A and B are shown apart, each in its own frame.
Chain A
């Protein structure tokens, strides 16, 4: 295939995305450099600032709440994964047709289950960090 045959216009959104990504990163770095306060110290230079200490034994005990919170995160992560293909298919369906209604009902049921999961986790005290 010759270059002339390739419809370069199709690549414009990708190009824009690349430009935006680069701009976003450089802008953030430049702005923090210019505006951010500067405090130096021993803690500032560790690889995970404000995180765990990377030196010493890795076999430490973590609070079990981390895992519970991670599971709660998974509920919504999975939901997002389902919502994308759903949204792509739903846009192609004929409005107000039976299958469109069914599609909508299905995703509503699915979202309802996630909301129940969220309320359940809330009531169980997953987000309470004493």
Chain B
């Protein structure tokens, strides 16, 4: 019969997620309301639900007795990752205010059209927004492979639709289709990996799998099937974190989606993917197994991760050098940052994982700041994409120019901004784990990235406005610009609390 206490505990720790699912249902209905005020209130309601969820996370994880009894591989991941997901989720929701249905709402306002529920998609957009966040939060609570798979898919499936409805353009639909098919391919890949992991251990429960692997390692080494399965699973999940070799979609999809959705894509699925990789590697364990002398992850898995990390950061940074579009540039930058994150994953529990979690927070804030600038500006209702559009932004929108500069400097890892502390802790973790070559490659990559990040600093601040950039105006809704300022303030102010923020 069922163990009722364990089941109650399981539900207890996903109460914030259940709350957000209720939120998704509420906003999907609100979006269909005939009253303009109710439709406009949707993002506000989303932010309220997320704020209450943050309080809920603090509350459910405050229960020390239950936390001690919880049967998770890494229970310490939960509160931190969920908190940053919700907090940055609030800022991302602010970015998306007024994004969906803009032409429709305009024609409704001027009385040229009558409200018809079938033509709106604002409620759905924010419902999917919340559901995707819920998926990423549920990944932290995964204690078996089936849960992990479902949570990862719950993170990704809504994002495909969010990309498609983010703006009324063929580009967005093309991006969504590419994203969907490649996402399905990746899902098939890591599902295959999960099947092999199950085949080699006879269990899908992560904690039992860890014991099975420990037993195998104590005998004559890990099962070959297990190693193949683990590599396949990690490669499949690397789609979510846009790591090489599953990074091909990034530039096209990030460019095709509207900027607020791109900011979402660069943070939420990446967080879910990194947590999933940490959980998967946690079953093998970072120490005690593997080839003699290595004393860490099994050699083939370690080599794979090492190669993914190096290729990801190098390809990301070199690719970004060639871009003329700000969104494509930030897409390649997103690839590069996944490479940095993997250094912490290789370094392992303790400093490494803490550095990864802290870096996720830092990356979330700075990435959101950069995309918030792009979301807050427009040219005749169209997105601004080209780097040249940012030239001389200081003369017309000084605050936005400063935010862009701060975000780019932080992405570069310029002290004393938040990004510096993130990268610093990752590199320290790498050195502590004796991964010097990896750290050196990361440093060289940082130097390469300076070239294009400094362009993002120089163009808005130092360059003279061009005729093209003169035609830039701001969006009628101020919230994206407010979010940009909040995120930039975070980049400047949060380093003061580094000690508190480190998990």
Residues on A lying within 8 angstroms of B by beta carbon are: 97-99, 102, 106, 109, 112-113, 116, 119-120, 123-125
Check A102/B25 contact, CB under 8 A, given A124-B118, A125-B117. Answer: no
Check if B11 sits within 8 Å of A123, measured CB to CB. Answer: no
CB contacts (< 8 Å) of B29 on chain A: these are 116, 119-120, 123
Interface of B is mostly: helix
Check if A124 sits within 8 Å of B7, measured CB to CB. Answer: no
| Per-residue contact bits, chain B 1-45, to A (CB 8 Å; 1 contact, 0 not) | 010100110010000001001000100110010000000000000
CB contacts (< 8 Å) of B117 on chain A: these are 123-125
Check if B28 sits within 8 Å of A102, measured CB to CB. Answer: no
Check if A113 sits within 8 Å of B32, measured CB to CB. Answer: no
- Complex Cα spacing A51 to B4, Å: 52
A102-B11, A123-B32 known, 18 other contacts, Cβ within 8 Å? A98-B4, A99-B8, A102-B4, A102-B7, A106-B11, A109-B18, A112-B25, A113-B21, A116-B28, A116-B29, A119-B29, A120-B28, A120-B29, A123-B29, A123-B117, A124-B117, A125-B116, A125-B118
| Per-residue contact bits, chain B 103-134, to A (CB 8 Å; 1 contact, 0 not) | 00000000000001110000000000000000
Chain B nearest CB, measured from A88 CB (Å): 14
CB contacts (< 8 Å) of A120 on chain B: these are 28-29, 32
Interface centre among A109, A113, A120 (most CB of B within 10 A): A120
CB contacts (< 8 Å) of B7 on chain A: these are 99, 102
CB contacts (< 8 Å) of A102 on chain B: these are 4, 7-8, 11
Check if A99 sits within 8 Å of B4, measured CB to CB. Answer: yes
Task: Please list the 3 inter-chain residue pairs (A to B) with the smallest Cβ-Cβ separation, ordered nearest first.
Answer: A99-B4, A123-B32, A116-B25
Closest chain B residue, CB of each to CB of A126: B118
Chain B nearest CB, measured from A105 CB (Å): 8
Residues on B lying within 8 angstroms of A by beta carbon are: 2, 4, 7-8, 11, 18, 21, 25, 28-29, 32, 116-118
- Complex Cα spacing A116 to B25, Å: 7
Check if B2 sits within 8 Å of A99, measured CB to CB. Answer: yes
21 residue pairs of the A-B complex, CB under 8 angstroms, read A98-B4, A99-B4, A99-B7, A99-B8, A102-B4, A102-B7, A102-B11, A109-B18, A112-B25, A113-B25, A116-B25, A116-B29, A119-B29, A120-B28, A120-B29, A120-B32, A124-B32, A124-B117, A124-B118, A125-B117, A125-B118
CB contacts (< 8 Å) of A106 on chain B: these are 11
CB contacts (< 8 Å) of A123 on chain B: these are 29, 32, 117
CB contacts (< 8 Å) of A124 on chain B: these are 32, 117-118
CB contacts (< 8 Å) of A125 on chain B: these are 116-118
- Complex Cα spacing A112 to B25, Å: 10
Chain B nearest CB, measured from A115 CB (Å): 10
- Complex Cα spacing A99 to B9, Å: 11
CB contacts (< 8 Å) of A97 on chain B: these are 4
Chain A nearest CB, measured from B169 CB (Å): 21
- Complex Cα spacing A120 to B31, Å: 10
- Complex Cα spacing A113 to B28, Å: 12
- Complex Cα spacing A119 to B28, Å: 11
CB contacts (< 8 Å) of A113 on chain B: these are 21, 25
Chain B nearest CB, measured from A97 CB (Å): 7
Closest chain B residue, CB of each to CB of A115: B25
CB contacts (< 8 Å) of B116 on chain A: these are 125
- A98: which of B8, B21, B28 is its contact (CB, 8 Å)? B8
Closest chain A residue, CB of each to CB of B116: A125
Closest chain B residue, CB of each to CB of A97: B4
- Complex Cα spacing A116 to B23, Å: 12
- Complex Cα spacing A5 to B76, Å: 58
- Complex Cα spacing A99 to B28, Å: 31
- Complex Cα spacing A98 to B21, Å: 23
Chain A nearest CB, measured from B5 CB (Å): 8
CB contacts (< 8 Å) of A112 on chain B: these are 25
- Complex Cα spacing A121 to B32, Å: 10
Closest chain A residue, CB of each to CB of B4: A99
- Complex Cα spacing A99 to B32, Å: 37
- Complex Cα spacing A113 to B25, Å: 8
Closest chain B residue, CB of each to CB of A128: B118
CB contacts (< 8 Å) of B25 on chain A: these are 112-113, 116
CB contacts (< 8 Å) of B21 on chain A: these are 113
Closest chain B residue, CB of each to CB of A100: B4
Interface centre among B4, B7, B116, B118 (most CB of A within 10 A): B4
- Complex Cα spacing A98 to B11, Å: 13
- Complex Cα spacing A109 to B25, Å: 12
- Complex Cα spacing A120 to B25, Å: 9
Closest chain A residue, CB of each to CB of B21: A113
- Complex Cα spacing A120 to B18, Å: 19
CB contacts (< 8 Å) of B11 on chain A: these are 102, 106
- Complex Cα spacing A106 to B2, Å: 15
Chain B nearest CB, measured from A100 CB (Å): 9
- Complex Cα spacing A116 to B124, Å: 13
Chain B nearest CB, measured from A128 CB (Å): 9
Closest chain A residue, CB of each to CB of B3: A99
Closest chain A residue, CB of each to CB of B127: A120
CB contacts (< 8 Å) of A109 on chain B: these are 18
Closest chain B residue, CB of each to CB of A113: B25
CB contacts (< 8 Å) of A119 on chain B: these are 29
Chain A nearest CB, measured from B322 CB (Å): 42
CB contacts (< 8 Å) of B2 on chain A: these are 99
